[in-house]
Amino acid sequence: MPSGPCLFRSLIAAAEEKTGKNLSIGQIAAIGKELHASGDIGTNDEYYEVQKPEVVLKAALKELGYPDAQVKVGNTGESTGKADFTIRFIKSNHHYQLGDASGKIKYEPYKYNNSAHSVTGDATSLRDVTIILTPEE
Amino acid sequence: MHVGKICVLISMLVFISCKQDNVVHDFDGAWNFKETYENWKKGDVEGLSANESIIAGKKHLVINHSMIIDTSANPMYLSVPGGKWIINDIRPFGKTAYNVLLRSTESKETTGILILNCKNDKSIWFSIGKMDPDFQKEFNQSFLLVGEEEIYVKCDQIKQ
């Protein structure tokens, strides 16, 4: 994947973590293509720019077999410590990562092909991500 | 002093004052956090890249996840990670701020005001104005950081 879509990939990772399943690169690319075509992600400058984080989560969960899952993304800086995950934001790098409920890093999108790409440091802000799964069909 | 000269002087002062009050800022382009931008300039940021892009007819540098403002587009828009809104209008609000009247891309009735505050060094920061409840919810979905500590600077415009 090109650099940049860290928020997109972090949201996909939240769905993977919740369901305990992994999506292939091809599946992730297909989700990106579909959401880009529908205008839910992407700008002229960045293919994976996320416009609607909940839509990305729902698309990933649908691909993972949970089309009726409910998702909620909380407000910036108002993490409760009780959600399933958090989206970590590191302002100095304008970078997004997936964190656990307390904000500790859980998934680093830049690590996909080279651990040296990992961004370390404290999160500037956290956002809660809550996913409620309903049984697979 | 001759009365005529005094009138001319007063007229000039009024003109200059109005000119200052009516300074039109150019917000078109890509904006990013000052901290991010400075780190990128220094080459300190792994994984962060920048592309050249035409915004409002001019070539700009766009660092990943920048906020984009384009008032030449139809409709005008403001986009940030996690949200994109149509700009209905930008109105001066005092001498150093502007009310950016936004509406949802989904509904014309869902509107909100973002207050864009200008600093002397041309950087900006945002505060929240009046927002419909549905707009507030949509706004909260975005990853725009708001407040005096969150300073945004415009990424470079590339000379053509």
pLDDT in tens, B11-51: 544 444 333 444 457 899 999 999 889 888 887 666 677 88
A88: in domain:
yes
Under an 8 A CB cutoff, do A45 and B53 touch?
A: yes
How many domains, in total, are found in chain B? 1
Q: Is residue A5 reached through a cis peptide bond, with omega within 30 degrees of 0 on the bond before it? A: no
Q: Give the whole-angstrom CA distance, residue B123 versus residue A79.
A: 28
A100: in domain:
yes
Q: Give the whole-angstrom CA distance, residue B100 versus residue B25.
A: 13
Q: What is the pLDDT of residues A73-117, one digit of tens each?
A: 988 877 899 999 999 998 888 889 999 999 999 998 876 555 555
B1: in domain:
no
pTM, full prediction:
0.81
Under an 8 A CB cutoff, do A76 and B140 touch?
A: yes
Under an 8 A CB cutoff, do A94 and B48 touch?
A: yes
**Encoding tokens for residue B43?**
């080459």
A137: in domain:
no
How many domains, in total, are found in chain A? 1
Q: Which residues constitute the domain of residue B119? A: 25-154
A1: in domain:
no
B24 min Cα distance to partner chain A (Å):
26
Q: Which residues constitute the domain of residue A27? A: 6-132
ipTM of the complex: 0.79
Compare CB distances from A110 to B46, B84, B143 and report the shortest one's residue.
B46
